Amino acid sequence: MIALALPAATTEEGFVAPTIEDTHYRDILPWGGEYGVLLEAGFGKQMLLTILSVVLIAAFFLIASRRRQMVPGKLQFLGESAYGFVRNSIGKDIIGGNDFLRYVPWLFTAFFFVLVNNIFGAIPFLQLPTFSHPGSAYGIAALFFFLWVGIGLKKHGIRYFKLAVVPSGVPWYILLIVVPIEIISNFIVRPVTHSLRLFATMLAGHLIVTLAGSAIEYMVMTGNIFLQGTSVLVLVGSIAMYMLEALIMVLQAYVFTLLAAIYIEGALHADAH
Amino acid sequence: MLDAAIMAAEEGSNPLIPNVWELLVTVVGFVVLMYIVRKFVMPAFEKTFAERTEAIEGGIAKAEAAQAEANAALDQYKQQLVEARTEANRIREEARAEGAQILADLKEKAAAESARITEQAHVQIEAERQAAVVSLRAEVGTLATDLASRIVGESLADDARSSRVVDRFLADLETSSSAGAAK
């Protein structure tokens, strides 16, 4: 954490690297400053993008599913493919059974919500993956944490906690070690990693792109011909990083949804594990 | 607000501390989006999928029915063809048997006819032979007596005696000839 807070200035008039603070813009509609650090906020770009993503996703799928036809048009086909992908290759394949459809809205919404919000980071001018702010990542991971714990309790009752942390067929002296490990891994590490994985990859990618951008700007502005020449290399490197970041944005949306499905499946079939 | 921001920047704020408003916006946004998905998007897609599956399966069922019907018709035609062939064979067989029967009947009839004709001929020949024997016997007797009376005189003219002599002679002749035949 200390290392992440990059030094604000290298030399007196040299390159000033952007810090994490530079990824937070929150001055569109400031409010709430009096509630302290946690609640210190205004209506910022990040929230605007989150709302925009909800509107975009809802609009796209509502239009795509509005005129249902046996032989789909291009838009309907696109919508159906997207829906079918989450429904079948995540919902059906991971959760399976007869009632996997009940959890498809969760998975479907998670996948496209995370995907679109991540891709905002790759779109010029928007250029902010909303999950690079920890609040968003915690929020969505918490929703899924409560979902799968709720599923486990509903399905197995209070016995669910025993099923989740006490593996069957293990001698008691090993249980002394295994049970604390299982408690920590299932109920603490799991939701934390679920959120941090998404948050950290988005933040890192966003920082790299920001860093490269400001470095290029600085090098070009110096008026030093050598630095200006070298900036081409940074540009090429930053394009490669941009491509990698775009890949990771899609991949993290998939990973997040896949893990959510695996956790739901684990809660549903806690007695079989 | 400005003071807080400056303070945060100076401290190098911890990137893991969430902004509660952002968290709320995300959670509310997610829930709203999920409501829309559950209420409108998912039912529409699921309905389309179900209808499409039904259409495809209905088409397959229809094609299968048509195929089954065609197969049934084919079987029926084959069955009829086999029946017709059997019938034709049976008729041919019957005709052959009938022909053979007719031929056999004709042959039998012809054989019977020829046997009858032969029999008749035999009977006639026997009758004629008997007649010839009778007439020959009478004639030979007469001729012999005539010849003998010519040779030995008139004494043999007595009919009764001469016929007795002739009969005895002929009987002796038959006996000797049958004995010779037996030997």
Q: What is the pLDDT of residues B129-181, one digit of tens each?
A: 999 888 888 888 788 877 777 777 655 566 777 777 778 878 887 787 777 65
Comparing A34-48, A194-208, B58-72, B154-168, the range with the smallest average pLDDT is: A34-48
Q: Name A61's Cβ contacts closer than 8 Å, sequence gap at least 6.
A: A79, A82, A83, A112, B36, B37, B41
Residue A43: φ, ψ to 5°: -80, 105
Of A66, A113, A134, Cβ closest to residue B17? A134
Closest chain A residue by Cα to residue B14: A1
A11 DSSP assignment:
S
| Cα(A29)–Cα(A181) distance, integer angstroms | 45
Mutate one of B3, B13, B17, B25 to test the A interface: name it (highest A CB count within 10 A). Answer: B25
pLDDT of B2 higher than 70: no
Chain B hits for A143, CB-CB cut-off 8 Å, are 27, 30-31
A34 DSSP assignment:
G
pLDDT band at B13 (very low <50, low <70, confident <90, very high): low
Q: What is the mean pLDDT of residues B31-54?
A: 91
Does residue A67 or residue B106 have the better pLDDT? B106
Give the CA-trace dihedral at A77, A82, A87, A89, to 10 degrees. Answer: 110
β-partners of residue A29 are: A43
- Residue B157's pLDDT is what? 60
Of A46, A70, A113, Cβ closest to residue B33? A113
pLDDT of B51 higher than 50: yes
Closest CA to A121 of A220, A241, A259: A241
Q: Name A87's Cβ contacts closer than 8 Å, sequence gap at least 6.
A: A101, A104, A107, A108, B45
pLDDT band at A42 (very low <50, low <70, confident <90, very high): low
Return the SS3 of A29.
strand
- Residue A25's pLDDT is what? 54
The residue ranges of DSSP E strands in chain A, in sequence order, are 29-31, 41-43
A139·B23 Cβ contact <8 A: yes
Q: What is the mean pLDDT of residues A171-191?
A: 90
Closest CA to A164 of A154, A152, A173: A152
Give the residue carrying structure tokens 């995370």. Answer: A114
Of B18, B27, B47, Cβ closest to residue A134? B18
A 10 A CB-CB count for B23 gives 20
B27·A139 Cβ contact <8 A: yes
If you average pLDDT over every residue of chain B, what do you get? 84
Of B12, B16, B26, Cβ closest to residue A50? B26
| Cα(B173)–Cα(B103) distance, integer angstroms | 54
A62·B34 Cβ contact <8 A: no
Contact between residue A64 and residue A75 where contact means Cβ atoms under 8 Å apart:
yes
- Residue A6's pLDDT is what? 42
Cα distance from A236 to chain B (closest Cα, Å)? 29
Closest CA to A186 of A257, A85, A263: A263
A65·B40 Cβ contact <8 A: yes
* Cα→Cα distances A65→A72, A74, A92, B31, Å: 10, 11, 21, 20
Contact between residue A238 and residue A213 where contact means Cβ atoms under 8 Å apart:
yes
pLDDT of B55 higher than 70: yes
H/E segment holding residue B145: helix B42-152
- Residue B1's pLDDT is what? 39
Chain A hits for B51, CB-CB cut-off 8 Å, are 68, 70
Model confidence pLDDT, tens digit, residues A113-134: 999 999 998 888 888 888 988 8
B52·A70 Cβ contact <8 A: yes
Between the two ends of chain A, the Cα-to-Cα distance in Å is 36
Model confidence pLDDT, tens digit, residues A234-243: 889 888 988 9
pLDDT of A165 higher than 80: yes
A38·B18 Cβ contact <8 A: yes
Q: Name A109's Cβ contacts closer than 8 Å, sequence gap at least 6.
A: B30, B33, B34, B37
A68·B19 Cβ contact <8 A: no
pLDDT-above-90 percentage for chain A: 41
Chain A hits for B37, CB-CB cut-off 8 Å, are 58, 61, 105, 108-109
B4·A37 Cβ contact <8 A: yes
Of A84, A101, A136, Cβ closest to residue B26? A136
Question: Buried (b) or exposed (e) across B66-102, using 16+ Cβ within 10 A?
Answer: eeeeeeeeeeeeeeeeeeeeeeeeeeeeeeeeeeeee
Put simply, whether B47 touches A (Cβ < 8 Å) is yes
Residue A30: φ, ψ to 5°: -70, 140
Q: What is the ipTM of this complex?
A: 0.84
Question: Buried (b) or exposed (e) across A130-161, using 16+ Cβ within 10 A?
Answer: bbbbbbbbbbbbbbbbebbbebbeeebeeebb
A135·B8 Cβ contact <8 A: no
Closest chain B residue by Cα to residue A78: B45
Report angle CA B177, B179, B181 to the nearest 5 degrees.
70
Comparing A36-50, B24-38, B49-63, the range with the smallest average pLDDT is: A36-50
Chain B hits for A113, CB-CB cut-off 8 Å, are 29-30, 33
